[in-house]
Structure 1
Amino acid sequence: MGNNAVVVGGGIGGLAAAIGLRLVGWEVTVVERARTPDDAGAGISLHANGLRALDVLGVGAAVRAAARPQYTGGTRTPDGRLLARMDGAALERELGTPIVGIPRSGLHRLLRAALPPESLLIGAEVTSVDRSDASRVRLTAGDTALEADLVVAADGIGSRLRTQLFPGHPGPAYSGSTVLRAITKTPVDLRTDFELTWGRGAEFGHIAFADGRAEWHAVLNAPAGVRHPDPLGEVRRRFGGWHDPIPALLAATRTDAVLHHDINELVTPLPSYAVGRIALLGDAAHAMTPNLGQGACQALEDAATLAAALSGGAGVESALVRYDAERRPRSQSVARAARQAGRMGQQLSRPVAVALRNTALRLAPSRVTVRAVLRHADWTPPRLGRPRDGPGRAVVRSPQ
């Protein structure tokens, strides 16, 4: 088995895959089309499964040190009434860790710091893939020609490689919800580490960070493609009258800091995450709605599982068959659960349905909420085999 891999996409899943492959002895090149590292995005919550995957990859401790544990929080109504309490301490007792919150940019930097700079090919987009040779895959990225024994397609929800591999697949579909989000410019006095507030067809949430700043997101039922000349002004119009600390979060946000994206997902599951010597990973394989906070965690699981499959000494194609068998059922199940959570949560808009949901949440014991998180976060990571001759363990450097 050869030991040269190309990872297409330098996001969370692609970087994690590159780290894992290096740990088991592969030479890795990460091809990222952005000319500068794409740290766009606001914040992210990492559940126990994502943290366990990061531990396997050797970067879990660094991520925990930069993150803020989520011990307090819950779900509220727009007037501030508590519907369900999040018990981070109970999750820690069950799983060994609470959920943590970290800026996406910080997570990206920590993952990049675990890779040698020369392994990153920045500003080059993979435009073609040639699989005519059964033992190698040839890629064209700008003016660069690459050959690899393994290709990892981690090029996101709009994956060009997925389209080439599965030309009959319908691709991503609009979920019916759009999200505006930002990180505050300054620290905000928050009473909780994490919170969601559900109205009618609308959600507002925040994630507190270790430096006192916070990410907030506002999710709305809306037609696809709708944009606003003043995004922050629109959020203030829709959510400014909701309970504290929502007005304070918006007041601490720069006008030009708001990102606006429609939420798309792969509603039609892929028939496989492996085609020959190409593996699909993260959003390229199973883009899901964010309602369970599992998108990045599932990509991290993918990365750890892929590295473990390729460390066992089997041929590349056999290893990818194993990867597909282990990852596809679980990740597609989580994607279905996330879609259902959105339909029963933020997307509900009829007053009677909203009232019934709120009553059910208020009456449910706290252990029910804990069990709902455990259903997806309690994942046992694989063990990586001994590295073959090759680069060996990644070195975690201080991020620049």
Structure 2
Amino acid sequence: MRQRTAIVIGGGIGGLTAAVALHRQGWEVTVLERAASLEPVGAGIALAANAQRALDTIGAGDAVRDMAVPQFKGEIRTPRGRRLARTDNAAAVRRFGGPVVVAHRAELIALLAGRLPEGAVRTGAPAEVADPGDPTRPDRPARVRLLPPAESADTADTGNAANTPHLTAGLVMAADGIRSATRRALFPGHPEPRYAGFTSWRLVVPALRRPYAAHETWGPGGVWGSVALHDGRVYAYATAAVPPGGRAPDGERSELLRRFGSWHQPIPEILAAADPAAILRNDVRTAARPLPACHRGRVALLGDAVHPMTPNLGQGGCQAVEDAIVLAHRVASDRSLAAALDAYSRERLPRTTEVVRRAERIGHLTTWRSAPAVLLRGAAIACTARFAPDLALRPLDGIADWRPPGGTYASGAPGARPAHPAR
């Protein structure tokens, strides 16, 4: 491929992984991030073994595994604290070949951005695809229109498009998120992501007075999760079946106290330590229908831009990382860009569609509200966990044991320490 220039729209985890993967192959890569900096608002991200093996291919897997909490244990509980099921990272290693690492997003962003050359990332640079180009014609590169920082791809005055600066590239990778303007431009009329039936809250608080096991607590119409990060801070998240678009008139901390303040410890302690201004609230959206392809022209979509999903499997970021590594592998391996992008869509669409559906099924279970349904759900979890250990890991079968293409993972990656083999 003669035009070894690439533009990445979006400086999140998927976009930066794609940029690093192509940079390591000798491509000239520019990342355009609309935010003023790459410092994401504080929240955690789960990275299962599939994402770690993908990151091994760009030499970042060991640094992620170093963020793992030693002797990690996790539980599913009721609001009163009764344990329904439990697991630990030793079980994850046995089942999938690696632990589940929960990291702060800011740390992962810094880790990836640090593997790019100076000047490769341009912040305060919103952009949209002006022409997807033609991968079969060298004279038809993709064109990206730079927008004024105060503008967005949703509100830009396209009547002045001829007077705004453009960049061209042999490949554009759009990782511009769940409200992707690139997706709308490439596939006009395709259904937008739909509300999944629940809203999420996320927060990070300082270390607690005493350690607690990581847990997800399932109650009527909602879930609370708490997990310690490697530096002692605690990442917490919650979901509740509420109408979309809501905001608490007295602040989101007050809303969380109303919904979860009477649940077992450490939930009240976490809420007492929470900074009200640092609590994130977002409606959860999921793909209404799979796209017909993950690309069009010379533009490839990845992450939430192509397969938004509920957070119930902890695979949103993991699948974005997989997308990036598969795309880079195809670009390096196939004889033409057209063949590479076709192969990328064929490989990624079926897999990510299945992950979206699995996550949505679990998400639906968390919205049950009636007392009989909640009791039945708890009894089913407890009974299944008794006779089938590692219940909490079973939904990840066929997902977390994924291996990146080309065989360059774990001990095969430059500088990587040997990892446990997947089943």
Considering the TM-score relative to the shorter chain, is it more than 0.5? yes
Do residues 163 (structure 1) and 168 (structure 2) align? Answer: no
Residue aligning to 1:388: none
- The 1:69/1:331 distance shift into structure 2, 3 A limit, reads farther
Residue aligning to 1:398: none
Equivalences for residues 1-400 of structure 1 within 5 A = 1=1, 2-68=3-69, 71-131=72-132, 134=137, 135-142=140-147, 143-192=164-213, 194-228=214-248, 229-344=250-365, 346-364=366-384, 365-383=388-406
Residue aligning to 2:155: none
Give CA-to-partner distance per residue, 1:231-274, whole Å, 9 cap, x none. 11221121111001111111221121111111112121111001
2: CA distance between counterparts of 1:255 and 1:157?
A: 25
> How far apart are 1:342 and its partner, in Å?
0.7
1: CA distance between counterparts of 2:193 and 2:285?
A: 6
Moved more, 228-237 or 316-325: 228-237
SS at match of 1:18: helix
**For the Cα contact (< 8 Å) 1:266–1:287, is it kept in 2?**
yes
Q: Which amino acid aligns with 1:341?
A: I
Q: Which amino acid aligns with 1:84?
A: A
SS at match of 1:212: coil
Residue aligning to 1:389: none
2: CA distance between counterparts of 1:320 and 1:158?
A: 22
- The 1:374/1:125 distance shift into structure 2, 3 A limit, reads same
**For the Cα contact (< 8 Å) 1:41–1:105, is it kept in 2?**
yes
> How far apart are 1:67 and its partner, in Å?
3.7
Residue aligning to 2:151: none
- The 1:84/1:323 distance shift into structure 2, 3 A limit, reads same
Q: Which amino acid aligns with 2:329?
A: A
- The 1:52/1:147 distance shift into structure 2, 3 A limit, reads same
- The 1:131/1:230 distance shift into structure 2, 3 A limit, reads closer
- The 1:15/1:384 distance shift into structure 2, 3 A limit, reads farther
2: CA distance between counterparts of 1:394 and 1:33?
A: 32
Structure 1 spans left out of the alignment, 5+ residues: 386-392, 396-400
Q: Which amino acid aligns with 1:281?
A: L
SS at match of 1:311: helix
**For the Cα contact (< 8 Å) 1:263–1:289, is it kept in 2?**
yes
> How far apart are 1:61 and its partner, in Å?
1.2
Q: Which amino acid aligns with 1:196?
A: E
**For the Cα contact (< 8 Å) 1:103–1:209, is it kept in 2?**
yes
SS at match of 1:177: strand
Q: Which amino acid aligns with 2:141?
A: R
Q: Which amino acid aligns with 2:321?
A: L
2: CA distance between counterparts of 1:238 and 1:24?
A: 50
**For the Cα contact (< 8 Å) 1:307–1:384, is it kept in 2?**
no
Q: Which amino acid aligns with 1:302?
A: D
- The 1:316/1:384 distance shift into structure 2, 3 A limit, reads farther
Question: Identity over aligned residues, as a percent?
Answer: 44
Q: Which amino acid aligns with 1:350?
A: S
Q: Which amino acid aligns with 2:10?
A: G
2: CA distance between counterparts of 1:394 and 1:168?
A: 44
- The 1:69/1:102 distance shift into structure 2, 3 A limit, reads farther
Count of paired positions: 387
Give CA-to-partner distance per residue, 1:273-300, whole Å, 9 cap, x none. 0112111100001010001101000001
**For the Cα contact (< 8 Å) 1:76–1:196, is it kept in 2?**
yes
> How far apart are 1:375 and its partner, in Å?
3.2
Give CA-to-partner distance per residue, 1:307-361, whole Å, 9 cap, x none. 11011141111101111111110011000000001112x2111222211111111
Give CA-to-partner distance per residue, 1:131-175, whole Å, 9 cap, x none. 356430111113542100001011000000100000011211111
2: CA distance between counterparts of 1:288 and 1:66?
A: 25
- The 1:239/1:348 distance shift into structure 2, 3 A limit, reads same
> How far apart are 1:87 and its partner, in Å?
3.0
- The 1:239/1:132 distance shift into structure 2, 3 A limit, reads closer
- TM-score, scaled to structure 1: 0.92
SS at match of 1:171: coil
- The 1:383/1:69 distance shift into structure 2, 3 A limit, reads farther
Q: Which ranges of 4 or more aligned residues in structure 1 deviate by more than 6 Å?
A: none
Moved more, 127-136 or 58-67: 127-136
> How far apart are 1:65 and its partner, in Å?
1.8
2: CA distance between counterparts of 1:128 and 1:372?
A: 37
SS at match of 1:181: strand
